[in-house]
């Protein structure tokens, strides 16, 4: 809240450089702000008396927005990429999917390895888990196995996180 929006009777006023100007009335604080060509901004409305600060509100909002953009730019969002396998996968297809998974892990993304079993393949869950474990073991130098291969319904899942 700024200037006329502030309804508190008594205000603890802080100057533009952070110095304490004391406890003053609302009208007096608005007069000081107008005299200096600054805005009166409510910093802590719940305290008694309310804490307000003298500053250029437009510049304050601009700096806050700039700081927020800088923080957003510097953080890395980790995505989870998925590599799908099957029970009857051939060696060439495994090599192709390994290359994709390596690219994802080098890029800093997690890799979810999934194997979907169809029909009678569901009777051979142990073989499916072996295929997923073999695939994950080939990626040891690029990432660590975060979640062991797990059988859920018709699927087997494993998650690999990239090495730092």
Give, for all 164 residues of the chain, the pLDDT tens digit: 777 778 778 888 888 888 888 888 888 888 888 888 888 888 887 778 888 888 888 888 999 999 999 888 887 777 899 999 999 999 999 999 999 999 999 988 999 999 999 999 989 999 999 999 999 999 999 999 988 999 999 999 999 999 87
Domain boundary among 47, 71, 95: 71
Radius of gyration from C-alpha coordinates of the chain: 30
Q: Are residues 86 and 38 in the same domain?
A: no
Continuous H helices in the chain: 26-36, 57-74, 91-106, 125-137
Q: What are the residues whose beta carbons fall under 8 Å from the beta carbon of 26, sequence distance 6 or more? A: 6, 7, 8, 9, 10, 11
Q: Are residues 67 and 98 in the same domain?
A: no
Spatial separation of the C-alpha atoms in residues 57 and 59, rounded to whole Å = 5
Q: Contact, 85 vs 96, CB < 8 A?
A: no
Q: Are residues 61 and 92 in the same domain?
A: no
Q: Tell me the pTM.
A: 0.56
Q: What is the CATH number of the domain that holds 35?
A: 3.10.20.80
Domain boundary among 22, 38, 71: 71
Q: What is the pLDDT of residue 84?
A: 95
Domain boundary among 71, 92, 127: 71
Q: 3-state DSSP: the chain helix, strand, coil percent, rounded to 5? A: 40, 35, 25
Q: Are residues 94 and 47 in the same domain?
A: no
Q: Are residues 100 and 31 in the same domain?
A: no
Q: What is the pLDDT of residue 57?
A: 86
Q: Are residues 85 and 158 in the same domain?
A: yes
Per the structure, the complete domain to which residue 142 belongs is given by: 80-162
Q: What is the CATH number of the domain that holds 103?
A: 3.30.110.10
Q: What phi and psi, each to the nearest 5 degrees, are found at residue 48?
A: -120, 115
Q: Are residues 52 and 85 in the same domain?
A: no
**Domain tally for the chain?**
2
Q: Are residues 158 and 87 in the same domain?
A: yes
């Amino acid at each position: 809240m700024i200037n006329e929006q502030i309804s508190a009777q008594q205000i603890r006023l802080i100057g533009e450089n952070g110095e304490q100007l004391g406890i003053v009335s609302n009208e007096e604080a608005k007069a000081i702000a107008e005299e200096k060509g600054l805005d009166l901004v409510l910093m802590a409305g719940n305290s008694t008396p309310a804490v307000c600060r003298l500053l250029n509100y437009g510049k304050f909002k601009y700096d806050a927005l700039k700081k927020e953009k800088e923080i957003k730019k510097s953080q890395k969002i980790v995505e989870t990429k998925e590599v799908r396998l099957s029970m009857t996968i051939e060696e060439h297809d495994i090599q192709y999917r390994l290359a994709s998974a390596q690219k994802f892990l080098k890029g800093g993304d997690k890799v979810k390895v999934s194997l979907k079993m169809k029909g009678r393949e569901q009777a051979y869950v142990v073989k499916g888990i072996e295929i997923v474990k073999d695939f994950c073991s080939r990626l040891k130098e690029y990432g660590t196995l975060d979640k062991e291969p797990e059988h859920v319904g018709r699927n087997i899942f494993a998650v690999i996180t990239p090495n730092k």
